[in-house]
Every structure is written in C-alpha cells, then in structure tokens.
Amino acid sequence: MQERSLLVGENDMDGKKIILFDGVCNLCNGAIQFIIKRDKNDLFRYAALQSDIGQQLITERAIDTSKVDSIILIVPGVAYFTKSDAALEIAKGFGGLWKTMTIFTWVPKTLRDAIYDLIAKNRYKWFGRKDSCMIPTPELQAKLLG
C-alpha cells in the first residue's frame, strides 16, 4: 500500500522501519521478541498499536484497525504493509536465508491473508492476552517509539 503521509520527525529515523503490534497479545509480543533476536542490522523500531504514537501512525495512514489489528509494518515515507505482506517484508529484513521467505509472495495474497486472518482472529483464544501492554526489556525499551 502507498504511504499517505509522513509523521513529523520520521526523517530522524535513519531508515528504520516501524513495526506496530498488538501490545496486549501474547502471540504478537512473542513475535516482537523473535524479530528483535534476528534483527542483526537494527532495522526495526516498535510501537504498540494501543500507544499514542501507534494511534498517531494509524490515523495518519487511515488504517482501519477493525480489519488490521495485529502487526503493521511502516516504511516511513515509502509505504506500509499489513497482514502477510508485513510478515514477509519483516522476514526479508533479516537478510540471509530469511530472504527465501519471499517465495511465499507467489502464493496468492488472498490465500496468505486468509491464513493470517485465521490466526489473528484466534490469537487471544490460542495464545492468551495481557491486561495491559507488556513491560519492555531494556533491549526493547531502547527500540520503542514514544
């Protein structure tokens, strides 16, 4: 999807990509920890969808969180990605063999997103949820926006 606007101060991000995630979802929090461990090039920054900065980024891009409410990847000034496209773009950012995940772009987006939506719809039932956003580790705190 094309970027609709540029958040004030995003130019200071030095090429960092922003991952918005459901801060109360155990699966999403686990995914963020997984990403941090593999982000050897320090490419990503993070914000909970529920945070002020997360809400600002969503509003600026007119993203409908009733349709997308788990993980969103924003490449400031360029584009944003949702659902399976976001997951594949994040994996590509790890480099190395992870780039082979792009083979899944050959699978029709409607099928990839249907699988993604099934997991997203059941994520609280299958993985649980927290009453509030997680308390970040010092490593994550340094990478959180806002």
Tokens of residue 116, six digits: 């993604």
Tokens of residue 89, six digits: 């773009």
Tokens of residue 135, six digits: 């308390």
Residue 29 lies in a domain: yes
Going from the first residue of the chain to its last (146 residues), give the mean pLDDT of each consecutive group of 10, the final group possibly shorter: 42 80 91 92 93 94 88 93 95 90 93 95 91 66 76
What integer pLDDT is reported at residue 58 of this predicted model? 94
What's the domain range around 78? 10-135
What integer pLDDT is reported at residue 4 of this predicted model? 39
What integer pLDDT is reported at residue 3 of this predicted model? 43
8 Å CB contact between 72 and 19: yes
CATH number at residue 98: 3.40.30
What integer pLDDT is reported at residue 121 of this predicted model? 94
Residue 108 lies in a domain: yes
Amino acid, res. 62: A
In the chain, the number of structural domains is 1
Enter the pTM of the model: 0.83
Rounded distance, CA 63 to CA 43, Å? 23
